Amino acid sequence: MKEAIAQLPEGIRERLRQAGRLADESELDLYLVGGTVRDMLLGCARADIDLAVDGDGMGFASRLARRTEGRYTPHARFLTATVDLPEGNSLDVATARGETYERPGALPRVAPASMDVDLARRDFTINAMAVSLNARNFGNLVDPFNGRGDLRSRMVRILHDQSFIDDPTRLLRAIRFEQRLRFRLERETERRFREAVSGGVIGNLSGPRLLEQLRLICVEPDPWPVFNRLERLDTLKAIHPALASDDGLKTLVQEISRPGDLASSAYDGWWILYLVALFRPRREETLHGIVDRLKPNRRLRKAIEDMSRWSGVEQSVQSGRIDTPADFYRAVRTISEDTMLFLTLTHPDDAVRRRCETYYRHHRHTRLSIDGETLKELKIPEGPAYGQILDEVLSMKINGEIETAEEERRAARDLWSRRNRPES
Secondary structure, 3-state, the chain: CHHHHHCCCHHHHHHHHHHHHHHHHCCCEEEEECHHHHHHHCCCCCCCEEEEEECCHHHHHHHHHHHHCCEEEEEHHHCEEEEECCCCCEEEEEECEEEECCCCCCCCEEEECCHHHHHHCCCEHHHCCEEECCHHHCCCEECCCCHHHHHHHCEECECCCCHHHHCCHHHHHHHHHHHHHCCEECHHHHHHHHHHHHCCHHHHCCHHHHHHHHHHHHCCCCHHHHHHHHHHCCHHHHHCCCCCCCHHHHHHHHHHCCCCCCCCCCCCCHHHHHHHHHHCCCCHHHHHHHHHHHCCCHHHHHHHHHHHHHHHHHHHHHHCCCCCHHHHHHHHCCCCHHHHHHHHHHCCCHHHHHHHHHHHHCHHHCCCCCCHHHHHHCCCCCCCHHHHHHHHHHHHHHCCCCCCHHHHHHHHHHHHHHHHCCCC
**Of 128, 153, 178, which marks where a domain is finished?**
153
Q: From 121, 153, 185, give the residue that closes a domain.
A: 153
Of 109, 128, 153, the domain-final residue: 153
Q: Count up the domains in the chain and report the number.
A: 3
Could you list the residue range(s) of the whole structural domain that residue 75 is in? 1-153
Please indicate, yes or no, whether residues 110 and 136 belong to a single structural domain of this protein.
yes
Give Cα 373 to chain centroid, integer Å: 44
Asked if residue 68 belongs to a domain, the reply is: yes
- Pair (300, 416) in one structural domain: no
Q: What is the CATH number of the domain that holds 148?
A: 3.30.460.10
Question: Is residue 394 located within the same domain as residue 306?
Answer: no
Q: Do residue 106 and residue 28 come from a single domain?
A: yes
Residues 265 and 378 in one domain: no
pTM (2 d.p.): 0.87
pLDDT in tens for each of the 424 residues of the chain?
777 788 788 888 899 999 999 999 999 999 999 898 999 999 886 767 999 999 999 999 999 999 999 999 999 888 899 999 999 889 999 999 988 887 877 778 888 899 999 999 999 999 999 999 999 999 999 999 999 999 999 999 999 999 999 999 999 999 999 999 999 999 999 999 999 999 999 999 999 999 999 999 999 989 999 999 999 999 999 998 878 777 778 888 888 887 777 766 678 889 999 999 888 756 667 778 888 889 999 999 999 889 889 999 999 999 999 999 999 999 999 999 999 999 999 999 999 999 999 999 999 999 999 999 999 999 999 999 999 999 999 999 999 999 999 999 999 999 999 887 665 4
Q: Mark whether 6 and 149 lie in a shared domain.
A: yes
Are 138 and 14 in the same domain? yes
- My answer on whether 271 and 407 are in the same domain is no
Is 234 inside a domain boundary?
no
